[in-house]
Amino acid sequence: MMMVLCGRGQENLYAGFCLCRPFLCRPWLLIVEKILDMFLRMDFYSIKGSGNNIEAVCDMKKSDSSRNRKVLVAMSGGVDSSVAALLLKNAGYDVTGVTMALGIHRGGEIPGRFTDDAIDDAARVCDQLGMPHITVSFASLMENKVIARFTSEYLSGRTPNPCVDCNRYLKFGALLKEARKLGFHRLATGHYARIENQPSGWRLLRPADRGKDQSYFLYPLRLEDLPFILFPLGLMTKEEVRLTARQSGLHTARRHDSQDICFVPHGDYSRVFSDRNLKTEPGDIVDRNGKILGRHRGIIYYTIGQRGGLRISAKAPFYVVAIDALKNQIIVGGRDDVRASGLIAGDLNLLIEPFPGQVEAKIRYRKKPALCSVIRQGDKLNVMFKDPQDAVTPGQAVVFYAEDTVLGGGVIEEAIRD
């Protein structure tokens, strides 16, 4: 006998059993009833794959009390959060969708995340799934905690990571607090990451789809909050998410992923500053000895390791190696000058204690993890790489891993160069 799970929820599973029941002898009937009972007790159910390669992914619980647990799903109006809501709804959760109203308005034909169009898209998906949808206004929090930090860091010559701050202060800060206040047991999002309760405790893990791994942005999650967070897409690939959305007829199935920062329209950083009456002045581009080589149009347009846009004529290419905000200077050098043997990290959030001395570290989202040694120095970490790394950038996150496990992370304060 072969059982095929169609992935449309427990109701369809039970309906399929009822259709087959008249054709089953008593031994098989008892077996199938036990299997059915097992699936009806599950806390999470999703389908991975398609066609003849269907794998049921289940996180089993010991009691029936989890079947009616209330989950608030953060919905940005995109396909990922829509499928996350679909999977949880099909798994038998009591699901409500929520969209954060962040006061973001964007021109053009392509809607951004958390705009009015995105809120409407999220509401339409909730209507399709027969579940409530609410909005929460976090506009002032977005301005004060994320955008203000973004502008301040750039004006200080550092390169911030607003997605990390959004997760820290909004999604898994204010929104998680709001979910608990409203009586929800869990908060779910469409992030590509995993959370597991292992013998050593709750752990944040990398997802199955390495190309969409978002664990780098999630290191600020507090260890004590992990049991209350769900990542339904952690075992799926982006292609499988898209396929699930299309097969289910979701309104957002063909919506394109946003590639830029949600509050930076069309990648125009100057607009963020001009809208807030913040000025960035042109200044000198100098080499490491202070020799003037050219002019820059404002320090906010440059980051460590940048090669393009310097407008310097030279036999060998120059790279940005430092930004001096006090002197309003961009310092450039050769390729070797960009490399760093280590870094100092602060503003730490460590998810495991004691913290190991040998780990892997990512210094940018798209960078591969690099082997390094770590020494704790008060509230800082001194990190030394096995091999020098390019473009260690103050303001960016450094996130530590042991294979698939996220050990924690912090903010790069300075690069260590020999």
Greatest pairwise CA separation for the chain in angstroms: 89
Number of Cα atoms under 13 Å in the Cβ half of residue 278: 20
Burial class, 233, CB count within 10 angstroms (exposed 0-12 / middle 13-18 / buried 19+)? buried
**Contact 44/153 with Cβ under 8 angstroms?**
no
Give how far Cα 361 sits from Cα of 10, 120, 385, Å. Answer: 41, 39, 9
Partners of 207 in the β-ladder: none
Tokens 């970490």, located at residue = 381
183: helix, strand or coil: coil
Neighbours of 82 (CB within 10 A): 31
Amino acid identity at 261: I
**Which of the 8 DSSP states describes residue 395?**
T
Verify cis geometry, omega within 30 degrees of 0, for the bond prior to 354. Answer: yes
Structure token pair of residue 217: 């942005």
User: What's the rounded Cα separation, in Å, for the pair 102 and 96?
Assistant: 19
User: What's the rounded Cα separation, in Å, for the pair 192 and 38?
Assistant: 27
User: What's the rounded Cα separation, in Å, for the pair 215 and 194?
Assistant: 8
User: What's the rounded Cα separation, in Å, for the pair 27 and 30?
Assistant: 5
Catalytic residue of the set 25, 126, 163, 166 = 166
Structure token pair of residue 35: 């299997």
User: What's the rounded Cα separation, in Å, for the pair 346 and 411?
Assistant: 5
Structure token pair of residue 309: 């846009």
- 369-402 burial, b at 16+ Cβ within 10 Å, e below that, comes to bbebebeeeeeebebebeebbbbbbbbbbbbbbe
Catalytic residue of the set 58, 126, 163, 262 = 262
Give how far Cα 14 sits from Cα of 7, 18, 42, 174, Å. Answer: 12, 6, 14, 38
Catalytic annotation on 20? no
Burial class, 294, CB count within 10 angstroms (exposed 0-12 / middle 13-18 / buried 19+)? middle
Catalytic annotation on 262? yes
Residues with a catalytic annotation lie at 166, 262
